[in-house]
Structure 1
Amino acid sequence: MKFKIDKFILSIITVVLTAYFFPQFGGRSSPLPLEKMASVGVSLIFFFYGLKLSPEKIKTGLKNWRLHLLVQACTFLVFPIIILCFYPLIHSEYDKNIWLAFLFLAALPSTVSSSVVMVSMAKGNIPAAIFNASISGLIGIIVTPLWLGLFLNNTGTSYDLGEIYSKLIVEVVVPVIVGLLLHRYWGNLAQKYNSYLTLFDKSIILLIIYKSFASSFEDNVFSGIDTFDFTVIAVAVFGLFYVVYFLSGYISNQLGFSIEDKITAQFCGTKKSLVHGTVFAKILFPNPSTMGIILLPIMLFHAFQIFIISFIATKASNRKEENQVSYVGEK
C-alpha cells in the first residue's frame, strides 16, 4: 500500500524550520504586521466556515442523537478526562506547561474536512460525519476556553474568561453568524470554491505557526526540550489517540451501532482540529513565545491522525459485504 506524505504536513515542517533559521520576521521586532494579518485571517476563516454551514443539514442531522452524543462526549469529555488523570504528576513549571499543552489538545474540537473525507473513504455515515464535524467547531468556541480556564486560573496565570470570550465573539462568533446568515445567498459559491478557501485557511494557519515558533525560538522556549522529552511527547500523543479510538469503538459496539455509525464515531471522535488549535492558541495564550510549546502536541497529533486514519480508512473501504459486522479497528 502506497502512502503520500500530506503536503500540509510538509508545509508545517518547512514553516517551523524557517522560523528557526529566520525568527526575526516573526519576533517582537518584526517589521511585518503579522499579528494584524493573522487576526483578520482568523475572522475570514470563520466567516467562510459559517458560509459553508447548512442550517438545514444541521437540523436533519439531529435525528441520530446517540451517535452525535458519543462523538461529542469523546471530543470534549473523554480526551480531557484522560489528560486530567496525569495532573498529579506535575512537579515543576516545565511539567505544567507540557501538561497544559496536552489539555489544550484534548479540549479542542474535531476537524471538519478531513473527518468527512476519511469517513467517506471508509464508507461510513457521511451525513452524520458532516453534522458532527460542523457542530463540534461551534461547541468548541464555548467549551475549549472553559477547560483551559479551570487550570490556568488555578495556576495563577492571567486568564480573564470575559476578555477571552470577547475576543472569541469578535474574531470567531460574529464572523460565523454573518456567514450563516449569508449562506442562502453565497453558500453554493463557497462550496464551489471550497478548495481555494481551504488553501486560504491553511495559509493563515501557517502564518500563525510561523509567528508562534519564531517568537518561541527567539526566546529559547524549546531549550528545555531534548530528544528524550520530544520522544515522550510524541509517544504520549500517539497513545492518547489510540486510547480514545478503541474506547469509542468499544462503546459503539455496546450501543449496537452499525458499522457505518461506528466508523463515524471512531473517526470523528478522535480527530482534533489544527485550524481551531492555532486560532484558539492565538486568543487563549497571548504570550507568543509560549505558543510554540502549546502547539507542539496538536501539530504532532495532526500529522499522526492523518497518517493512521488514512491507513484505517483505506483498509475499511475494502471490507467485504458479508464481513461488515466486523471492523478492522478491532483486530
Structure 2
Amino acid sequence: MGLKDLLEKLKLEPYVIALFGMVVLASVLPVRGDAAHGLSIVVKLAIALLFFLHGAKLSRESVVAGVTHWRLHLLILAFTFVMFPVLGLAISKIGVLPPTLAAGILFLCCLPSTVQSSIAFTSIARGNVAAAVVAASASNLFGIFITPVLVGVLMHTQGGAAGGWHSVRDIVVQLLLPFIAGQLARPLVSAWITKHKGLIGYVDRGSILLVVYSAFSEAVVGGIWHKISPPQLLILLAVCGVLLAVVLAATTFGARALGFSPEDEKAITFCGSKKSLATGVPMAGILFPGPTAGIIVLPLMIFHQIQLMACSVIAQHYAKKAQQAEA
C-alpha cells in the first residue's frame, strides 16, 4: 500500500499533513530576529494576495441567484455565528483546557464556514450545491466583519488577548480591501483565474502554510511546548471531536425539524458545521499578535482535520442513500 492509498484510507489530505509539517518545521527551525521581521512582511503580502484571489473567484451571479433562499441561509448563519460561539463560550467556562487553548476554541467558534470543502461535500452528497455556494460564500464575506466583533466581545468578557477594536481596522485593511479589490478586478482576471485553477490553488494553500509557519515560529520562540502538555493536547482533541459531533447533530436534525428538503439538509449540514482555516489563520495573526497566534490556531488546525474526516464519511453515506433511492 502506497502513501497516497494510506492517506486515502485514513481520510487525511496531503495539505493537512503539510500544515502539521509546518508546525514541526517551526518547532525545529523557528525563524527569529531580522528574519522574523522580514517574514512578517512577506506574510502580510501573502494574506493580501490570498483575499484578493478570494474576491476575484467569488461569482456575484451565484450570490444573486441563491439569495432568495433566505430561510436556509439564515439558518446556516445562525449555526455559524450564534450556536458555535455559544458552545465555545460554554467550553471556555468549563475549564477543561488551559486559558490559551480555551481561547483558541472560542476563536474557531467565531469563524465563518469553509467554502471549497462545504461545496465539495454537498456535491458528493447530492445536495443543493447552488445553495451551498451562496451560503458558504456569504458566511466568509460576513465573517470578515462578524468574526472580529465576536472575538472582541466574547474574549473581552473572558479576559482574552484579542487586540480590541483597532483590530477591526486591521482586518479591513489586510483582508476586506484586498477582497473588494479582487471583486472589482474580477471582470479582468476571472478568465485567467479559471484557466490557471491549479496555480491559484497552490498560491492559496502556500499562503496558509507560510502563515502557519510564521505564527508557530513566534509561538515556539515564546515557549509554546513548555506551556502545553501531551495530556492537554489529548483533551483538546476530544473537545474538538465532541464540538463537531454536537454541531453536526444540531444542523442535521434542525434542518429536518424545520421541514427542509433532503437536498437543503445536506447543504445546511456541511455549510453550518465547518470552520474556515483559510480565513482563521490570517485573522489569528492580526487579532493575536506575537506568540499567542500559534497557540490560538492549534485548536483550529485539529478541528479542521476532524471536520474533513467526519464530513467525508457523512457525504459518502448520503451519496449511497441517494443511489439506493434511485435504484
For residue 14 of structure 2, the aligned residue among 4, 7, 18 is 7
Kept after mapping to 1: 8 A contact 2:92/2:103 = no
Cα distance, 1:192 vs structure 2: 2.5
In 2: Cα distance, 1:196 partner to 1:186 partner: 14
For residue 160 of structure 1, the aligned residue among 142, 146, 164 is 164
In 2: Cα distance, 1:31 partner to 1:160 partner: 24
In 2: Cα distance, 1:8 partner to 1:195 partner: 14
1:318 aligns with 320
1:299 aligns with 301
2:24 aligns with 17
Alignment of 1:233-252 (within 5 A): 233-252=236-255
Secondary structure of the structure 2 residue equivalent to 1:9: helix
1:329 aligns with none
Give the share of equivalent positions with the same residue, in percent.
32
In 2: Cα distance, 1:9 partner to 1:85 partner: 28
Cα distance, 1:210 vs structure 2: 0.8
1:120 aligns with 123
Secondary structure of the structure 2 residue equivalent to 1:149: helix
In 2: Cα distance, 1:34 partner to 1:227 partner: 29
Alignment of 1:147-186 (within 5 A): 147-154=150-157, 155=159, 157=161, 159-161=163-165, 163-186=166-189
Residue 56, structure 1, aligned to residue 61, structure 2: yes
Cα distance, 1:156 vs structure 2: 7.2
1:268 aligns with 271
In 1: Cα distance, 2:155 partner to 2:84 partner: 18
For residue 259 of structure 1, the aligned residue among 258, 262, 284 is 262
For residue 97 of structure 1, the aligned residue among 97, 100, 117 is 100
Cα distance, 1:285 vs structure 2: 0.5
1:44 aligns with 49
In 2: Cα distance, 1:141 partner to 1:242 partner: 26
Cα distance, 1:256 vs structure 2: 1.1
1:135-188 deviations in Å (ceiling 9; x for gaps): 111111111111111144342747331x21221121111111111112223223
Between Structure 1 and Structure 2, how many residues are aligned? 318
Kept after mapping to 2: 8 A contact 1:50/1:180 = yes
In 2: Cα distance, 1:18 partner to 1:322 partner: 46
1:221-274 deviations in Å (ceiling 9; x for gaps): 231322211111000001111101100111111111111110110001011111
Kept after mapping to 2: 8 A contact 1:27/1:211 = no
1:133 aligns with 136
In 2: Cα distance, 1:211 partner to 1:158 partner: 18
Give the 3 Å change call, closer, same or farther, for CA 215–159 of structure 1 in structure 2.
closer
For residue 210 of structure 2, the aligned residue among 200, 207, 210 is 207
Normalising to structure 1: TM-score of the pair?
A: 0.90
In 2: Cα distance, 1:197 partner to 1:62 partner: 27
2:40 aligns with 35
Report the residue type matching 1:273 in the other structure. S
In 2: Cα distance, 1:307 partner to 1:192 partner: 30
In 1: Cα distance, 2:255 partner to 2:314 partner: 17
Residue 216, structure 1, aligned to residue 203, structure 2: no
Kept after mapping to 2: 8 A contact 1:152/1:159 = no
Cα distance, 1:96 vs structure 2: 2.4
In 1: Cα distance, 2:83 partner to 2:156 partner: 22
Kept after mapping to 2: 8 A contact 1:222/1:293 = no
For residue 309 of structure 1, the aligned residue among 307, 311, 314 is 311
